Amino acid sequence: MGKTKEMNKYWRVGEPMVWLSAAALSVTLLSAIVLLIVIMVNGLGVFWPSDLQELQLKNGSRLVGQLIQTIPTADESGLRRQYKIANRDLYGLDFRWIDEAQIVSEDTPANVLALERVEHGDFYGFLKSLQPPAGHPASATLAGLQQSLETVAKEKGDLSELDGKLKDISYRMEQIRLELLKYDYNKVPENDPDRIEAIQEQQGLKSEFSNLIEVQTSRTAKIRQAKALFVDANGQEKEVVLADIVQAYAPNQMSKLDKSLFYLKKLVELFVGQPRESNTEGGLFPAIFGTIMLIFVMSLFSFPLGVIAAIYLREYAKEGLLVRIVRIAVNNLAGIPSIVYGIFGLGFFIYGIGHTIDTLFFPERLPTPTFGTGGLLWASLTLALLTVPVVIVSTEEALGAIPREMREGSYALGATKFQTLVRILLPMASPGIMTGLILAMARAAGEVAPLMITGVVKLAPALPIDGHFPFLHLERKFMHLGFHIYDIGFQSPNVEAAKPMVFVTTLLLVMIVLLMSSVAIRLRNKMKKRYTFGTF
């Protein structure tokens, strides 16, 4: 009887539920920690310049590569190593597995070089000869090669100024083309002074553009005359144009300090550089910028819309069947698959509103769409719809948690309902509202499916912000870190070579979400300390 009573009390008090809750929380936290560790271990070491090994194999061949991992062989009779051997244009692959039983000797020669190239990935080999830029003699050593690369980089920098001029002229020519299309649509006479002036300006720009292209071609050909000849471990020669080399270094000669500085330089490139090699190398600046812009614009729509809807439902709407149905609908909206929102965004925003805008304001450009195609604005609005239920629910919960006496006290002092709402209720509910915004931002940052059909692209030629009026171009397509992970991880023809960048991009996306959430949490805590009594 005593044991039965104790068991009944044990179940009645609910201790099993406490243990189950603790176990579920522990599993969740453990899973998140393990995930973060896996991402950090694989992502943080990508840019570290590891030593390059030269192997002599039993079949007489040699190879130079970076050791990636060592695992047991299939029959567990020994070990096998995976090397990154680079030289994709020579071997047709970037990685190679070698059984340790096949290795005769191994060494880490000091003169082996690693090249980061604009195309075909890295190159591992030895410098044989050097043809430096004209007027800048240099010896066929690593120092001479780096000196020549600096000269070429300076000449390429001068060339980039020319690229800027060409882009400006190209942009102006496009504007004139659209202006002339408008004249044609409005049937403006051929002898109209404004039209004649536009045509004359277009002809002048075409002439200037052609001259600049000739100058660019000539200077590019001159820069590309500087070359270097390399050999791989088996003596196979490869000539590389210096303009195609991003940087050259000898990892086996570098000290820990040199490698640390190299690592920091690569991190800077990751944040501010442009992508290369189908996004598998180089920087992620366009994707970082697009992701932050998307979250920012989404918040501008989602936050006020969600808060206003919640205020109406909680403070102004009369409780009844209709309000209950609306609340159920809002809660159910949060459970709809995100791809459905994407399809809705494509049909309603792009084909509906976007096409209407084109018809009303840009009819001369049709059938080429301006707003009737995917872009940052439509993707942001689609994500705003996807996340607005989160803001509504959290805001309603925050308003409902405010003690009734606070409202009654305000009314008793003569305040109107609106004054009570603005000066009492919203400040007190602000921590809860911020919680909803944090959850909405986190979800928006990780969504990819709706973006794939509303505006995200693999490589965006221009950012949504530039120096041309009106400076903010929300109709443009954009890059996104989440889509970047999907693209290089599952759509790249060389998935093995793209794997390091997958982990780096994933780590970066997690860091951005954590950073933005931390800022929002700090704001929420400040509001909580200032406006509430610790209710929320």
The answer to whether the beta carbons of residues 453 and 345 sit under 8 Å apart is yes
Residue type, 489: G
**Residue 118 C-beta-side C-alpha neighbours within 13 Å:** 7
All residues at 6 or more sequence positions from 171 whose CB lies less than 8 Å from its CB, including other chains: 468
- For residue 157, the model assigns a pLDDT of 85
Does 521 have pLDDT greater than 70? yes
Classify residue 129 by its DSSP letter: E
Residue 418, CA distances (Å) to 37, 303, 393 in order: 49, 19, 21
291 three-state secondary structure: helix
* Residue 1 binned pLDDT confidence (cut-offs 50, 70, 90): low
CA angle 158, 159, 160 (to 5 degrees): 90
Peptide bond into 470 cis (omega under 30): yes
H/E segment holding residue 192: none
H/E segment holding residue 128: strand 123-131
* Residue 535 binned pLDDT confidence (cut-offs 50, 70, 90): very low
CA separation for the pair 451, 339 (Å, rounded): 9
Q: What is the DSSP string of 423-484?
A: IIIHHHHHHHHHHHHHHHHHHHHH--TTGGGTTB-SS-SS-SB-SSTTSB-TTS-B--HHHH
Q: Pick the residue with more confidence: 534 or 520?
A: 520
- For residue 533, the model assigns a pLDDT of 55
* Residue 334 binned pLDDT confidence (cut-offs 50, 70, 90): confident
Tally of residues, the chain? 536
Q: What is the pLDDT of residues 136-150, one digit of tens each?
A: 888 888 899 999 999
The answer to whether the beta carbons of residues 89 and 126 sit under 8 Å apart is no
3-state secondary structure 225-252: CCEEEEECCCCCEEEEEHHHEEEEECHH
Q: What is the pTM of this model?
A: 0.85
* Residue 532 binned pLDDT confidence (cut-offs 50, 70, 90): low
All residues at 6 or more sequence positions from 476 whose CB lies less than 8 Å from its CB, including other chains: 375, 376, 460, 462, 463, 464
Beta-strand relationship, 245-249 and 113-117: antiparallel
Strands (E), 220-346: 227-231, 237-241, 245-249, 275-276, 281-282
Q: What is the pLDDT of residues 10-27, one digit of tens each?
A: 777 777 888 899 999 999
Classify residue 511 by its DSSP letter: H
Does 536 have pLDDT greater than 50? no
Mean pLDDT along residues 274-279 = 82
Q: Pick the residue with more confidence: 333 or 250?
A: 250
| Residue that the structure tokens 């720009």 belong to | 205
CA separation for the pair 301, 345 (Å, rounded): 14
The answer to whether the beta carbons of residues 358 and 469 sit under 8 Å apart is no
Q: What is the pLDDT of residues 348-398, one digit of tens each?
A: 999 999 999 999 999 888 888 989 888 999 999 999 999 999 899 889 988
CA separation for the pair 76, 68 (Å, rounded): 19
- For residue 53, the model assigns a pLDDT of 93
Residue 148 phi/psi, 5-degree rounding, is -65, -40
Using only C-alpha atoms, the chain has a radius of gyration, in whole angstroms, of 31
- For residue 2, the model assigns a pLDDT of 64
CA angle 465, 471, 474 (to 5 degrees): 60
Q: What is the pLDDT of residues 217-243, one digit of tens each?
A: 998 898 899 999 999 988 899 999 999
For the chain, how long is the longest CA-to-CA vector? 108
